[in-house]
Structure 1
Amino acid sequence: MVSPVKTAVQDIRRLREISGVLTGHGFSAVARRAGLGRFLGDSGGADVVEFEDDGDLLGGDRSEAAVRFRNVLEDLGPTFVKLGQVLSTRPDILPPEFIDELKNLQDRVPALSFEQVREQVESNLDGAIEELFEEFQEKPLAAASIGQAHRAVLPSGRAVVVKVQRPGISEKIRSDLDILYYLARFLEATIEEVELYTPTAIVREFERAILNELDFLQEAQNIEEFGNNFAEMPTVEVPEVEHEYTTSQILTMEFIDADKLASLEGGSERAIRVLDTLLEAMVKMVLYDGFFHGDPHPGNIMVREDDTIVFIDFGLVGRLSESQQDDLIDLILTILTGDVDGVSRSLLSMGYPVGRVNLREFKADITRIRNKYLAMNLGDIEVGEFVQETMNAAQKHRIRINTNYAVLTKAAMTIEGIMRELEPDMDIMKKGMPYAKKLATRRFSARKVMQGVMNSAMGFSGFVQQIPQQMDQILMDLEGGNLTITIKNESIDEIGTFLNTLGTRLFLGIIAAGLAVAAALILRGYDYMISGVSVMMIVGILLAIIALALFWWALSWHIVGGSASSKLRLEPFMRLFRKK
């Protein structure tokens, strides 16, 4: 068991490393705002690069800042590379320059030595590698931050791919997650600008995604679910899992002999046939199965000689509920019909506002975006750019889009790029219109409409049935004196506070006046003269001056602060710790 002290020391070293990398790439202002200023004294050996980013954390040129940000993530290692890949699916959070640059993130890690691979395989599968496999190639097919893949042959003669997880990667990622949570909470506590983005929610989403990716048994389940979904579609193939050779750190699956998608000649008849199959598969995944491949880049899609497409690497997947599928279909149909009100309603349904949304201004922005793309030829419309601008409009009006759509957005933009490479002259609207008609038929089918009517009717019926019981309860509470009605109104609350304060002061004033009069009457017979001046008059004058001073103090306290709330607000206090 690792001691807490050792863990804390490691975390401090990691924070110092992070601050050093940020400083080395010109993000010293970011490091300070993230609470890492105390670690900036040691840049970890990195050369400090100065940029004028103290006023604007992104600098003047966002494209150049985006390149530096990608370099930061690559230098910080696997956890931050994966974080960047997750952030590249969030056009509702990052500017388009950053989204485009994060697509180029590479897992710059050296391949594991064969001895490390052997140790991982043998410890997880409980046997010598020569006994477990008929053949096991030492040279990896591919290497990434979490694991690397090797060709092998089972004793049965079946060709397989063995995915081997890097030793110790789980512990390193979990340690980095702790640091990310610390940074996220610190940002939320000190910087107002991050309210809309909820860094802790992003880290929580990232944690769920990366821990699932670390569990190869979860990926095996994903592969099987995809295989079942496409069992009746012969033009799509998914490798089978070899469960006897699979653990949480070792994944063994069928090797499918296929070519890379990039090997197809764009615009050829074969490329167009493959494109149609790919589009049909994606529509089925998203809008019928509700379970889709989250990272369908060209390296994860292969094509066989008979034009069958093969999906691989199911570490990142996405899910949509039936209601979310309906919301997405509504958005697609309202975009195609130019229904601005419908687009606005769909976006609000797909997310939730942080504060009040000015619907008139929001609809005006949607109209502007629609008119911009309406002026283009349908074949020239870039769906990815349209989605990006729509997300920017939602972000501007403080509408936080549900995270379930984030992975889908990235996948759709990636697929669009692949489709345009396969058919450079593609009219994407013409290509998608048949599917839109099918979706409209499905969305507003008699069965779907009747199902909606039945659900509403059942809900209303249940509501009506509860009314007599609820009314009986209200009348019983009213009769027994147990019914209390509380009215909340800030103005009324302020009046009550004012009257209470005023009454207290009047009461104290009357008592003070009475005591003063009583004292004067009692001391009247004991008056003395000093140089012809009455001592009682001198004392009276002094007391009058003191009373006048106290009066003005009480009046000032009442006007300036007496009627205000006495609660302590921490926000101004926390701002004292911020670097301006």
Structure 2
Amino acid sequence: MKISSIPQLYRNLKRWRQILQVLRRYGLADWLSHFPRLPFRDILKDRSGVPLTQYSREKRVRMALTELGPTFIKLGQILSARPDLVGPELADELKQLRANVSPDSPEVVRRILKEELGAQFELEIVELNDSPIATASIGQVHEARLANGRQVVIKVQRDGIENIILQDLEVLTGLAQLAEHVETLAAFGPAELARQIMPMLRRELDFERELTNMLMFREFFADDPKLVVPEPVIELCTRRVLVMTRLEGPSIAKWDSGSLEERETIAHRVTDSYMKMLFNHGTFHADPHPGNLLVMPEGGLGILDFGMIGRIDDRLRETIEEMLFAISAGDERMLLRLVKRVGNPPATLDDASLSVDIGDYVGIYGRQGLGRFNLTSALNDLSEILHRHKIKLPSQSALLLKMLVSLEGTLSALDAKFDSLEVMGGFVRRAMLRRISPRRRIRQARRIYLEAENFLEFAPDQVMGLLTQARQGSLSMNLEHRRLSPSVNRLVLGIMASSLFLGASLMLAYEVPPVVFPENPFLGFHRLSLFGIAGAVLSLMIMLRLLLAINHSGNLTKGEHD
């Protein structure tokens, strides 16, 4: 850990202690679970009195995050969208994370509204329901009525939650730095993962971002009367308060009165809307679970909660199209190339093993027709392959996978005889046609021309600069040895142990005082140098430690076969 982190460590010492106590408790339970015959293995229990060792490792992780509070619950919810990092089993378990928090009192909610809105609170909000209709770790939602008679809902940030999350983010930074020095955790890139996740957690605290997203999606679907996005009351929205019109209609999760035809209509509208987001706008609502989608009167669809959205650029969109085409065509080589392009493969990637897994994947899903294709299973199996081979996806690609899995689950909740992949296939075909359109080719040729012009303008000067440095003898190169430091450390430690053993042998041979058994021999030992014995024992312990480390890694060079 850097010296600059010490003030943060001191400032958050109490929170560090709380977090480490929880992690130690669940970590010890995880270790004890491997020894079923230990008499004291069930000493650690949950709040219901059930021994922690009775739960699976994935459930213990979820329970630990729940106990650590709102920040870690949000962290787990974000990681549930990254099966490529944590594996499908843990990702599925983390999807069950829910903030078990009590709502803020009506007095606290009114105080926050007064602080944020000032005099407008008394003038504009004439009626406020003190009982929240929804409560989460960061905010809670109340129904209200404005002075002009408008029925609205108000999302209010929980009292003090910003300080709690910012404090926890500092602690997470320190934990990520420590995890970089743990061999089993360093493979996941905890520091890079923390760097990606922290901006997402900070954005959750700023309701003005959600306001911007809401206005953007209202613009996207302004010409579609069947798709409804809440209209924000901009003059009453702040960083901690979001006021929007109330949408009338049950959520898909609670809608049980629709006929099969109505359910198929809603399923088609949901799929069509999200495919338009992907292939027409390149921006998508990232959390389409049944609670966020409402069934509006006359078959309309309402969408709630725009705190998390995803964006894909043209290149990623085209890669998705090509991957779908490769799966349907059974082209293993093409899919293998695309997986390596869209992900971040490690330097130790086993291409042959990955090729076998991709071949099996295409063999299973490439033969399924549209009516039998299981999108959720296909995405989960692909995530399992990525996790097995340590291929990390960019955050937006992982968010897209999460959205597609959630979307498939929502469509399953509708229990309609409807094939979402058929609608998706129609959008992909239209997108493929757009790729060969003259307009796109002209735009692509213009971009290539501008890039070539820029290269031809600056490349000669850069080449001449390199030649000048080489002629003057000032050209230097920086080489970085990756994965070499463990081997160097072992080599140095081995040389030191050998030197210590040689010195100890000389002290024993020359009977360097102080000596033991100076007069009467014991079991044949006579005048043994005490320093020689200590040096020999210490050198043998170091050598044994080196042998165990080498046996654990499987090779002198750490990670060569990982």
- When normalised by structure 2's length, the TM-score is 0.75
2:371 is paired with a residue whose SS is helix
1:400 is paired with a residue whose SS is coil
2:56 is paired with a residue whose SS is helix
Q: Kindly tell me: are residues 488 and 225 of structure 1, through their superposed partners in 2, closer, same or farther at Cα, counting changes over 3 Å?
A: closer
Q: Does 1:22 align with 2:23?
A: yes
Q: Does 1:404 align with 2:405?
A: no
- Which residue type is aligned with residue 482 of structure 1? Q
- CA distance in 2: counterparts of 1:180 and 1:192, whole angstroms: 18
Q: How does 1:286-297 map to 2 (within 5 A)?
A: 286-297=278-289
Percent identity over paired residues: 29
1:292 is paired with a residue whose SS is strand
Q: How does 1:448-467 map to 2 (within 5 A)?
A: 448-464=440-456
* Superposed displacement of residue 343, structure 1: 1.4
The aligned counterpart of 2:498 is none
- CA distance in 2: counterparts of 1:449 and 1:85, whole angstroms: 41
The farther-off stretch of 298-307 and 349-358 is 349-358
- CA distance in 2: counterparts of 1:127 and 1:251, whole angstroms: 16
Q: Kindly tell me: are residues 456 and 227 of structure 1, through their superposed partners in 2, closer, same or farther at Cα, counting changes over 3 Å?
A: same
- Which residue type is aligned with residue 256 of structure 1? L
- Note if contact 1:181-1:200 (Cα within 8 Å) is conserved in structure 2: yes
The aligned counterpart of 1:284 is 276
Q: How does 1:387-402 map to 2 (within 5 A)?
A: 387-402=379-394
Q: Does 1:199 align with 2:190?
A: yes
The aligned counterpart of 1:210 is 201
- Note if contact 1:333-1:440 (Cα within 8 Å) is conserved in structure 2: no
The aligned counterpart of 2:246 is 255
- Which residue type is aligned with residue 437 of structure 2? S
- CA distance in 2: counterparts of 1:361 and 1:136, whole angstroms: 61
Indicate the structure (1 or 2) with the bigger Cα radius of gyration: 1
Q: Does 1:115 align with 2:115?
A: no
- Which residue type is aligned with residue 21 of structure 2? G
Q: How does 1:94-493 map to 2 (within 5 A)?
A: 94-127=86-119, 129-189=121-181, 191-262=182-253, 263-264=255-256, 268-374=260-366, 376=368, 378-464=370-456, 481-482=471-472
Q: Kindly tell me: are residues 70 and 115 of structure 1, through their superposed partners in 2, closer, same or farther at Cα, counting changes over 3 Å?
A: same
- CA distance in 2: counterparts of 1:148 and 1:488, whole angstroms: 53
- Which residue type is aligned with residue 17 of structure 1? Q
* Superposed displacement of residue 272, structure 1: 0.8
* Superposed displacement of residue 17, structure 1: 2.3
Output one character per residue of 1:173-202: Cα deviation in whole Å (capped at 9) or x when no partner. Answer: 11111111111110102x223334211222
1:152 is paired with a residue whose SS is strand
* Superposed displacement of residue 464, structure 1: 4.8
- Note if contact 2:330-2:363 (Cα within 8 Å) is conserved in structure 1: no
Gaps of 5+ in 2: 33-43, 481-552, 554-562
- Which residue type is aligned with residue 123 of structure 2? E
1:352 is paired with a residue whose SS is coil
- Note if contact 1:70-1:102 (Cα within 8 Å) is conserved in structure 2: yes
Q: Kindly tell me: are residues 470 and 174 of structure 1, through their superposed partners in 2, closer, same or farther at Cα, counting changes over 3 Å?
A: closer
Report the count of equivalent residues. Answer: 466
* Superposed displacement of residue 213, structure 1: 1.1
- Which residue type is aligned with residue 18 of structure 1? I
RMSD between aligned residues:
3.3
Q: How does 1:514-529 map to 2 (within 5 A)?
A: none
Q: Kindly tell me: are residues 264 and 431 of structure 1, through their superposed partners in 2, closer, same or farther at Cα, counting changes over 3 Å?
A: farther
- Which residue type is aligned with residue 307 of structure 1? G
- CA distance in 1: counterparts of 2:350 and 2:291, whole angstroms: 43
The farther-off stretch of 78-87 and 191-200 is 191-200
The farther-off stretch of 445-454 and 462-471 is 462-471
- Note if contact 1:26-1:49 (Cα within 8 Å) is conserved in structure 2: no
- CA distance in 1: counterparts of 2:8 and 2:476, whole angstroms: 52
Q: Kindly tell me: are residues 117 and 9 of structure 1, through their superposed partners in 2, closer, same or farther at Cα, counting changes over 3 Å?
A: same
- When normalised by structure 1's length, the TM-score is 0.73
Q: Kindly tell me: are residues 266 and 349 of structure 1, through their superposed partners in 2, closer, same or farther at Cα, counting changes over 3 Å?
A: farther
Q: Kindly tell me: are residues 47 and 450 of structure 1, through their superposed partners in 2, closer, same or farther at Cα, counting changes over 3 Å?
A: same
Q: Kindly tell me: are residues 444 and 332 of structure 1, through their superposed partners in 2, closer, same or farther at Cα, counting changes over 3 Å?
A: farther
- Note if contact 1:303-1:309 (Cα within 8 Å) is conserved in structure 2: yes
